[in-house]
Amino acid sequence: MTARTTRPKSMINYGFGHLRHVVLLCLPISMGAMAAEDPYLSAISLEAKKVDAAAQPTLDSPESEPASDGGLDLQSFEGDLKARYKGSYTFYVKLPQRSREEIFQEYRDGASIDEIRKKIMDRFLHQ
Amino acid sequence: MKLFTRYLLSIPLLLLAVQCAAEALVVAQSDVIGLTADKPYIHVMHEGRSVKVQQVQDTNYELKGYFAKTARKCPPFCIQPEHVDPRVATIGEIEVFDFMENELRDDKGLLIDARTPEWFNRGTIPGSINIPFTTFSDENSVQAEQALERFGAIRRVNVGTMTRKMEEMGFMNGDSKTDKWDFSNAKKLVLWCNGPACGQSPRAIRGLLKIGYPADRIFYYRGGMQMWQLWGLTMVIPGE
């Protein structure tokens, strides 16, 4: 009568069975961490949709644009100002370079000519 | 010869001093609204191009839009503590400018927008890279490993228990090391998100601390996008 020996295959099955239980137990723990973030992720995703990118205050104007492109636009602006509002142009050319750049930038950002003229006067008077 | 060498070495310092004085003079004499009393603006590299960071040049400027609002439902948008962790410094705008001009410029630091991509794509602080806070939820994820390597951390392999014990006890150089990562040359990180009521960058910071990132190399810009916009500081739209 031979002793019944445990076959390796059944031992492996036994081990894997327990391993499966361990993995299944661990899954809720790791998923719990992710699940805890999911409602938060949903909330911030919904919130992001409320942001209007166009309402941002100071968007960068690319400084690496070719000088000719910026120069032509600037020339048009200054030419228009000189032709239509000579008084404002007279004060404009007396402003420091940086002030002129900012005024031109506001023009490019869509400020009205009245706002531009007012700004020129403000800058000139407060130099 | 010595005198000549000394003279040569002093020229760059002299030029720097002249430049600083010139910038201070610009702020003092003109109506420029400077970043500081002696700094009208700074330049930062963003996506390969130079961006001028300055305040909006309009004393009548008022913040409008999403970031002008402060009352949001808590949770999840709760006002955050001043400090994420006692070991992590909380900084303001001046420190961010300084970081941009020094560590960021010298590639010894990173400015991290820790928000999810949909926030980042709506506008970010110049010089920022987007590493969402979710990256650090699982330190073993590919994203976390890639981020850490980008921060200058080096993956450690086959670190034995004995080696680790010796490091922990101080017999071997274990500073800034864990069993998985060597943070000896890791960069300084400034993390930020939407502002004082945003939990995204605090979560990122806690994730980094859990991984073992040196706390003295992490900085929390609590003001975030809300304060950045309140001051009318330059922002960029990624990809534009």
**Which residue in the set A45, A52, A59 is minimally distant from B235, CB to CB?**
A59
Residues B93, B123, single domain; the answer is: yes
The range of the structural domain enclosing residue B205 comes to 33-151+186-230
Residues B19, B87, single domain; the answer is: no
pLDDT in tens, B157-174: 887 888 777 777 777 776
Read off the pLDDT band of B212 (50, 70, 90).
very high
Residue ranges of domains in chain A: 8-45, 67-125
Residues B139, B203, single domain; the answer is: yes
Residue contact A47–B234, C-beta within 8 A: no
Mean pLDDT of B75-100: 97
ipTM over 0.85: no
B55 to chain A: closest CA residue: A58
| Residue B235 covered by a domain | no
| Residue B213 covered by a domain | yes
- Spatial neighbors of B81 by CB under 8 A, at least 6 apart, are none
pLDDT in tens, A79-127: 878 878 888 988 898 888 778 888 887 777 777 788 888 888 888 877 6
> What whole-number distance in Å separates Cα of residue B182 and Cα of residue B211?
11
Residues B106, B21, single domain; the answer is: no
pLDDT in tens, B140-152: 999 999 999 999 9
Taking CB atoms and an 8 Å cutoff, what residues of chain B touch A52? Answer: 65-66
| Residue B157 covered by a domain | no
Q: How many domains does chain B have?
A: 2
Residue contact A59–B123, C-beta within 8 A: yes
pTM, entire model = 0.68
Taking CB atoms and an 8 Å cutoff, what residues of chain A touch B128? Answer: none
The domain spanning residue B77 has which CATH number? Answer: 3.40.250.10
Residues B25, B37, single domain; the answer is: no
- Dihedral (Cα; B137, B67, B234, A107), 10-degree rounding: 150
Residues B38, B20, single domain; the answer is: no
C-beta of residue B205 within 8 angstroms of C-beta of residue B43: no
| Residue B175 covered by a domain | no
